């Protein structure tokens, strides 16, 4: 059966007015599962008009009621867990267990923002002169344009829907055309829970055309984006031309430091699981493994054994531990990085090749003896490849760890508290795991340093990117 993935504008599911569409592929088979509609400028104008009305309607709903509606949407999403997870796995490829965890996390973001919506408050204090009162009011920033990627198609959209809607904004979301169904499922749960039809739109199309049309529109007040540094810079520059605030969660290339005082077998087992989750297609994924000389051989041997044993297959198969890459482009990119490292003298301890003759599968890969000029040490791999690098001097290693433009996350494994503190303080990243590789929970603010972005999503600040203040002085 061929599925149709329509636009969602003002509560109506519809084909794009131009008739343009793209195929949506199942990455496990490489075959088409349906077509996604593309929005024309006429469709985008309709979405903008609806969002203007939606802002007026939704922002007038008391925060307490907005919170109730978001929490009801979370309940509905969880009630639809199995079907929603199958949608994610079919169009993105990750194992069904990971897809179910993503649906749950999406619901948690909605619930968290619903709670925070009930805590929106201004403040009042007396001015410097008798009879002067000062009020600081909190208002929704306006209509939000959100651009979301394919690696966590529901959860990364849910963070943005949750923050924007919790603050009282309306939102137009442009997800990836490769994973359209996941966001449509999320949006439907929000509509069914009581969010006004006009407050939510989901549109698809050529990313550059949609962004060029939405960002300068006078209707749009805020831009939020999750994706690559290169695209983030383009969107931020476009927003800067019209002085609109942006939130950017961009790429990472996380240094993962394994010190000689840990059990190398135990830590290797932990990091195999973290590295190959979602086939390594996670901005927070550990990607550069700095291992102290004294345990390098044991760690690399165990890590390669774990990678070799990792079960790769269709995400709908319950025995699968790692699904396919999301698309052919990722297979080509990972192949290029591995081939470059091999040409420069790296050893492929395991993997290093495409698997099968259908779908977008790539073997979990471990590289050792990686030279410093290999592309994989400079470019975010965003795939199932782990370069293992020796170190003997902390300061020299930390210089290498901090040498890139990326600053999203970093990880340290050591049993020495003083060493952990020194490294934690030295690492220039927005997220640091000490004997841990954390994921993004709703209750914590996530944001990058350096070129990995600016602004945060989540935490008690989850609504803040979507709010503005007004200072009122009354006599």
C-alpha to C-alpha distance for 177 and 5, rounded to whole angstroms? 9
Contact predicate 98/279, CB 8 Å: no
Residue range(s) occupied by CATH 3.40.309.10 in the chain:
254-434
Which tokens is 306 given?
């774990």
Q: Of 24, 351, 38, which Cα lies nearest the Cα of 204?
A: 38
The secondary structure of residue 223, as a DSSP letter, is E
SS3 386: strand
Closest by Cα among 321, 253, 286, 265 to 439: 286
> In the chain, which segments carry CATH 3.40.605.10?
3-250+450-474
Residue 24 bridge partners (DSSP)? 34
Burial of 262 (0-12, 13-18, 19+ CB in 10 A): buried
* Ranges assigned E (strand) in 79-207: 123-126, 133-140, 143-147, 171-174, 200-202
Residue with tokens 């968290």: 112
pLDDT at residue 1, rounded to an integer:
61
Q: What are phi and psi of 410, to 5 degrees?
A: -155, 155
- Tracing tokens 């939606």 back to the chain, one arrives at 54
Tell the CATH topology of 3-250+450-474: Aldehyde Dehydrogenase; Chain A, domain 1 (3.40.605)
Q: Are strands 12-14 and 21-26 parallel, antiparallel or unpaired?
A: unpaired
* Nearest residue to 58 via CA among 152, 195, 204, 220: 195
Instruction: Please state which architecture CATH assigns to domain 254-434.
Output: 3-Layer(aba) Sandwich (3.40)
Give the chain's radius of gyration (CA, Å): 23
Per-residue confidence (pLDDT) for residue 2, from 0 to 100: 85
Segments of the chain scoring below 50 in pLDDT: none
Could you list the active site residues? 249, 283
The neighbour count for residue 208, using CB atoms within 10 Å, is 12
Helices 63-79/81-92 angle, 10° precision: 70
Residue 405: the pLDDT is 97
pTM of the model: 0.96
Res 419: pLDDT: 97
92, β-bridge pairs? none
SS3 255: strand
Strand-pair category, 21-26 with 361-362: unpaired
213 in Cβ contact with 223 (< 8 Å): no
> In whole angstroms, what is the distance from residue 303 CA to residue 346 CA?
16
């Amino acid at each position: 059966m061929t599925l149709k993935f329509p636009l969602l504008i003002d509560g109506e599911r519809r084909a794009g007015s131009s008739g343009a569409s793209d195929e949506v592929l199942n990455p496990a088979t490489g075959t088409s599962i349906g077509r996604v509609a593309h929005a024309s400028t006429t469709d985008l104008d309709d979405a903008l008009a609806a969002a203007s009305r939606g802002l007026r309607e939704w922002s007038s709903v008391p925060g307490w009621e907005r919170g109730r509606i978001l929490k009801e949407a979370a309940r509905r999403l969880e009630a639809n867990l199995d079907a929603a997870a199958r949608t994610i796995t079919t169009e993105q490829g990750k194992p069904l267990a990971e897809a179910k965890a993503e649906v749950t996390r999406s619901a948690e973001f909605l619930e968290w923002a619903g709670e925070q919506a009930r805590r929106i408050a201004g403040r009042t204090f007396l001015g410097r002169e008798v009879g002067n009162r000062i009020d600081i009011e909190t208002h929704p920033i306006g209509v939000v344009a959100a651009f979301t990627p394919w690696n966590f198609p529901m959860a990364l959209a849910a963070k943005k829907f949750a923050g924007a809607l919790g603050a009282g904004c309306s939102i137009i979301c442009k997800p990836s055309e490769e994973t359209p169904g996941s966001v449509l499922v999320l949006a439907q749960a929000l509509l069914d829970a009581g969010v006004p039809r006009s407050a939510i739109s989901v549109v698809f199309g050529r990313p550059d055309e949609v962004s060029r049309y939405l960002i300068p529109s006078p209707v749009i007040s805020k831009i939020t984006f999750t994706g690559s540094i290169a695209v983030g810079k383009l969107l931020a520059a476009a927003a800067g031309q019209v002085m609109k605030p942006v939130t950017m969660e961009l790429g990472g290339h996380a240094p993962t430091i394994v010190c000689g005082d840990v059990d190398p077998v135990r830590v290797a087992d932990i990091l195999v699981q973290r590295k190959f989750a979602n086939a390594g297609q996670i901005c927070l994924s550990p990607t550069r493994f700095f291992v102290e000389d004294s345990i390098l051989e044991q760690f690399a041997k165990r890590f390669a054994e774990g990678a070799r044993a990792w079960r790769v297959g269709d995400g709908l198969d319950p025995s699968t531990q790692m699904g396919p890459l999301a698309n052919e482009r990722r297979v080509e990119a990972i192949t290029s990085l591995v081939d470059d490292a091999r040409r420069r003298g790296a050893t492929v301890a395991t993997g290093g090749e495409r698997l099968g003759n259908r779908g977008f599968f790539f073997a979990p890969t471990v590289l050792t003896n990686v030279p410093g000029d290999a592309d994989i040490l400079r470019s975010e791999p965003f795939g199932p490849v782990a370069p293992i690098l020796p170190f003997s001097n902390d300061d020299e290693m930390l210089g290498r760890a901090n040498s890139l433009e990326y600053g999203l996350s970093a990880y340290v494994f050591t049993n020495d508290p003083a060493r952990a503190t020194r490294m934690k303080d030295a690492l220039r990243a927005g997220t640091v795991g000490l004997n841990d590789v954390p994921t993004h929970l709703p209750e914590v603010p996530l944001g990058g340093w350096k070129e990995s972005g600016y602004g945060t999503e989540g935490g008690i600040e989850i609504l803040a990117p979507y709010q503005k203040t007004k200072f009122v002085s009354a006599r």
